[in-house]
């Protein structure tokens, strides 16, 4: 019976290796040109996204990259009220006197530190308006990343009928569209922010410039700061999430037009242990000169992998998360902190205030989104000195009355 056992085990392993062989076969033949980078070859299959995938839309890419250069309208010291190339819509139909409004918010989730930080900022902004007497009740539903839950949350707001405005941060784009449209039809002003929906029925859609700009900020930095022929490792969280796919698609586009070599793109789930393990393995096989990340979670683990392997620091793209910014300062490496503007969580509350006052708001409210560069690093570290490590530097709540305790005691 032992041979039988071994047979089964052998068969199982053989199956694994067969599947392995199939997948490794696709990306073989090297580019004949030689001028192109190996990005296409290393990614291989269509399912890994990139510049040749359905996730890349040239027009959106061009627009977002151009928007980075546009000077936004609005007060410079309050970026959460600024807008890039706004087209204003009249909101007189929603104007209403008096205070004690009921503001309803359907939140996709607070399942990552970025959303937690923004959620605190939003609550602090609401408190200010509650003190003023404008907002009576702030009614919140957290869908915990569940589309079905969020659809019923929004329906509940509509059926209750007493929401004076409905704010939605959708968990996914396509699935939430009908629910948001139903909310629009109820006649209440609807405000959508962060991820969008496939509709323009809402009064305003608030978001930073976007994923292409985020991915491009990091990729351009690596191209500018690395010698031609240098090796870049791309660390990604998950496949198939549009905001993250757009970031990689832009970077892939830029890398493929550069002379950098992408030695690998790996999905890490944002798990620090997985990131450290993967980077360590790449370092065992050869040098890595640059790291690109589609989100900063676990960036410090990637840096530590270089330290523990005794290798020089790479040129690094992280995020404006405090743990990374502090590591950046400690190590003095060449790095950039890409930013997906966290202060956007304030804007929907202020938009509701404007809409109730009958003031015009941009129909698509594009907030500025600028990375943190080396010369700004110290200023952001000073400003956020008391903040915990999973806080985001551009959270935009320094002038709110709860600062800093609300963010430090989370």
Partner 1 sequence: MTTVATRRELPVRAPRPSLLERLTAGGSWTVFALLLLVFVLIFVMNPSFAEPSSLMAFVKKAAPLVILAIGQYFVIVSGEFDLSVGSLVGAQVVIAAKVMDGQDELTWPVTALMIGFGLLVGLVNGLVTTLLKVPSFITTLGMMLVLYGAIRLWTGGAPTGALTEQFRQWGRGGIFGEPGQFQVPYALIVVVVLGVLAVLLMRRPFGRTLMATGDNDVAASYSGSPVWWVRTRAFLLSGFMATIAGILIGGYAGVTAQVGEGLEFMAITAVVLGGVVLGGGRGTVVAAMAGALTLEALFTLFNQLGLPSTIRPVVQGVIIIAAVAYAAMPRKARRRRPAVPPPSAAGDAAEPKEPAPTHA
Contacts with partner 1 by CB under 8 A lie at 1-2, 4-6, 8-9, 11-13, 15-16, 19-20, 23-24, 27, 42, 47-48, 109-113, 115-116, 119-120, 239, 264, 266-278, 280-281, 284-285, 297-298, 300-301, 304, 307-311, 323, 388-390, 410
Q: For every residue of the chain, which 3-state class applies, written as one string?
A: CHHHHHHHHHHHHHHHHHHHHHHHHCCCCCCCCCCCCCHHHHHCCHHHCCCCCCCCCHHHHHHHHHHCCCCCECCCCCHHHCECCCCEECCHHHCCCCCCEEEEEEECCCCCHHHHHHHHHHHHHHHHHHHCCCEEEEEEEECCCCHHHHHHHHHHHHHHCCCCEEEEECCCHHHHHHHHHHHHHCCCCEEEECCCCCCCCCCEEEEECCHHHHHHHHHHHHHHHCCCCCEEEEEECCCCCHHHHHHHHHHHHHHHCCCCEEEEEEECCCCHHHHHHHHHHHHHHCCCCEEEECCCCCHHHHHHHHHHCCCCCCEEEEECEHHHHHHHHHHCCCEEEECCCHHHHCHHHHHHHHHHCCCCEECEEEECCCCECHHHHHHHHHHCCCCCCCCECCCCCCCCCCCCHHHHCC
> Measured from the CB of residue 283, what is the shortest distance to partner 1 in angstroms?
9
Nearer to partner 1 (CB atom), residue 82 or residue 265 = 265
Nearer to partner 1 (CB atom), residue 170 or residue 362 = 170
- Distance between CA 347 and CA 144 in Å, rounded? 22
Nearer to partner 1 (CB atom), residue 47 or residue 77 = 47
Nearer to partner 1 (CB atom), residue 48 or residue 177 = 48
Nearer to partner 1 (CB atom), residue 201 or residue 309 = 309
> Measured from the CB of residue 26, what is the shortest distance to partner 1 in angstroms?
10
Nearer to partner 1 (CB atom), residue 44 or residue 178 = 44
- Distance between CA 402 and CA 212 in Å, rounded? 33
Nearer to partner 1 (CB atom), residue 111 or residue 148 = 111
> Measured from the CB of residue 307, what is the shortest distance to partner 1 in angstroms?
7
> Measured from the CB of residue 114, what is the shortest distance to partner 1 in angstroms?
8
> Measured from the CB of residue 299, what is the shortest distance to partner 1 in angstroms?
10
Nearer to partner 1 (CB atom), residue 12 or residue 174 = 12
> Measured from the CB of residue 45, what is the shortest distance to partner 1 in angstroms?
8
> Measured from the CB of residue 169, what is the shortest distance to partner 1 in angstroms?
14
> Measured from the CB of residue 407, what is the shortest distance to partner 1 in angstroms?
10
């Amino acid at each position: 019976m032992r041979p039988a056992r071994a047979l089964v085990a052998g068969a199982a392993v053989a199956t694994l290796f067969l599947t392995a062989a199939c997948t490794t076969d696709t990306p073989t033949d090297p580019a004949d040109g030689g001028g192109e980078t190996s990005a296409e070859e290393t990614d291989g299959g269509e399912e890994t996204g990139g510049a040749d995938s359905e996730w890349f839309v040239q027009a959106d890419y061009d627009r977002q990259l151009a928007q980075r250069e546009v000077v936004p309208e609005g007060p410079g010291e309050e970026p959460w009220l600024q807008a890039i190339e706004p087209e204003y819509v009249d909101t007189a139909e929603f104007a209403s006197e008096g205070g004690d409004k009921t503001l309803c918010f359907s939140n996709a989730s607070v399942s990552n530190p970025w959303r937690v930080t923004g959620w605190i900022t939003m609550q602090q902004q609401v408190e200010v308006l509650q003190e003023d007497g404008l907002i009576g009740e702030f009614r919140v539903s957290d869908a915990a990343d569940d589309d079905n839950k969020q659809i019923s949350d929004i329906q509940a707001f509509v059926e209750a009928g007493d929401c004076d405005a409905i704010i939605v941060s959708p968990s996914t784009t396509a699935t939430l569209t009908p629910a948001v449209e139903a909310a629009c039809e109820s006649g209440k002003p609807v405000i959508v922010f962060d991820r969008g929906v496939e509709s323009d029925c809402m009064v305003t859609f608030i978001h930073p410039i976007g994923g292409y700009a985020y991915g491009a900020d990091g990729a351009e930095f690596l191209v500018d700061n690395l010698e031609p022929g240098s090796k870049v490792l791309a660390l990604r969280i998950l496949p198939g999430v549009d905001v993250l796919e757009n970031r990689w698609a832009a970077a892939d586009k830029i890398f493929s037009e550069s002379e950098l070599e992408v030695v690998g793109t790996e999905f890490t789930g944002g798990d620090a242990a997985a990131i450290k393990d993967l980077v360590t393995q790449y370092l065992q096989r050869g040098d890595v000169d640059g790291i690109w990340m589609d989100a900063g979670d676990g960036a410090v683990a990637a840096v530590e992998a270089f330290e523990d392997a005794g290798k020089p620091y790479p040129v690094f793209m992280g995020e404006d998360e405090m743990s990374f910014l502090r590591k950046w300062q400690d190590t003095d490496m060449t790095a950039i902190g890409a930013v997906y503007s966290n202060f956007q969580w304030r804007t929907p509350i202020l938009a509701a205030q404007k809409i109730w006052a009958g003031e015009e708001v941009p129909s698509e409210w594009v907030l500025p989104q600028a990375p943190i560069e080396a010369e700004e690093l110290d200023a952001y570290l000073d400003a956020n000195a008391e903040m915990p490590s999973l806080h985001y530097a551009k959270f935009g709540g320094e002038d709110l009355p709860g600062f800093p305790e609300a963010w430090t005691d989370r």
